[in-house]
Structure 1
Amino acid sequence: MTRATLTSRSRPARPSALPDEIEEYRDARWRREATRQVETAADAERFIEQAGFVACLTDSRRPGPSLYVAVCGRRDAVLPRNVQKDPETSLTWTLKDEIMRRGRVYYAKLARGKAMFLAPRMVPYFHAIWGLRRAEEPRRLSKQAQAILHVLRREWEMSTSDLRSDAGIISRPAFTRALDELQAAMLVVPAEVCYAPKFTYIWTLGVGRFPDALRRRVTRDAALKEIARCFLTSAGLTVRGELARVAGLSRSDAGRGNRALVREGYAVMLSPGVYRLAAPQAFTPAAAPACAVDAGPTA
């Protein structure tokens, strides 16, 4: 019996604004089914690679693919108020830590402070939108963020408390804001989390884990198109404002990406802000991805 069968915590069913075939397509692509739910770090990495970009702890009240929803294996999963005692939330958190340690997919707080996983193939496109060139750093980064970056470029990786001390930042909130700023600019990532002797993150440079992806030059227009393609491929159809919310783009940028797909013939526009995959075979059962089984080690 699966976790999705055992749990009763879900929202009452309500009519969807999306066609049934789109919801079923998303169920398969976003692992919102008990037969496809994520249980291991290897499962999660395959899910992220397939979806392209995935939120960490969002639930059915937020659009887009989510690791938490994939762990639950059901469309209507909702985070409980007491997450500390919830087994599905705990497993999601444990998988997040293991994925971070393995370093095979990109993980950080990205646009709008959202904790997100990126498949390596998507890193150049997100970096083209939000990344900073070194020459831009003095002008666009806060003094605290520059101080942290200077330390990490010298030491390469460091725990939270040591990094704050070496950067000379007394205020904890200022330090946290600076770290969020560096993550959003795709300069710094958490590499590992330690729980003993005390809880702390280990921080490192993003370019140390994904050197080729972060050094690859991509135009902004190409990046917007590929981010839009990635989401539409996994969603089947995108409604007004959905891509912007999921990827952290402005609505105008999301529209530019979707319209580029229409010009290419990859998508059709059903109405302003509503785009659907052009390929009619995309929504047949045969097009749904299989849930691969990893027989090898997970570490």
Structure 2
Amino acid sequence: MSPEEIAVRAGQQIEFLRLPPDDLFAVREARLRQRAHEHAMRDFLLFAADIAHAQHAAFKTFPAVTLPDEAALDAAALAGKPALPAALWPRDPQWIVSLRGMLEQMLPTLAAQPAARDVVDKVLHMRDQEIEQQADRLLNNIMFGLDLATAPLIAAGLQVYWTHLVTAVQKTHGANRVAPFGRTDDATRCPCCGSLPTASVSRIDGDGHYRYLHCSLCSAQWHMVRIKCTHCETTKGIHYQSLQSAEDEGPAEARKEAIEAETCDECGHYLKIVRMERNPHVEPVADDLASLTLDLLVSEAGFQRHGINLMLLFGEPDDPDPDANRSRGH
């Protein structure tokens, strides 16, 4: 067993779930702008930072929407299911109102980026039904018929909506129950909305370093012990891959990267991990986007990604084969 598993069995309390903070999108924006400096993907990272800026404003002013009641929360807990399942939850029309407000706020900042402005304009001119159809494909991980260009913008609106849902449920029901959200039957998916993680983060908390998976949709983080595959949950054949310059000098420990790919020989999957003990400023979504080269190299080695980053999707949207229609995010 890992030291963390021993500690858990000894009765030590580790916070299972960490809900997104109020400044979630502002922190993400700051990290994206930091990583964009002299980066090969500078323009895209800055565009993603502009999206995060608009998300922060939308999150702060998000209107009241329908939330699950106590009975629905109890039913989900008894069934071992997330209370706000991404693929099944009836979306409130306010999420599209919020999305349009975000995009209108972004337009003035994109004068020097005609390609990005065209994509924003495209979503603004889509009918609500078209946006909902794209949202359904995103939330069900279906590539067929998905517009890859507009997907990050629509996903951004969905992220704000689900982040609001999760935090609003906590504020509304948190005082009346032990916890509105608890453990579910699938430990590899978000216990709040059932989505895949974008990455995991090794946090610096109190008396130790604990690994949490970071939800790609609502940004909740849930605990999973380290050195354990986030796809098949085995502890065998786990390795860590990272990018390192051949010019780096100094002790090996000092040269360890803050972003690594945790690969599993047993199932052939991987998920990136960002380590706060090596860089306290890492942010899972931002650093995942900024380390695309690592994804490409690990994929070339034969590993398949377990998680997804809704800000950058890859796939073959015109492939009619249903077995090949699942989205793959890097």
Same fold, judged at TM 0.5 (above):
no
The normalised TM-score by structure 1 is: 0.28
Higher helix share: 1
Q: TM-score, normalised by structure 2?
A: 0.26
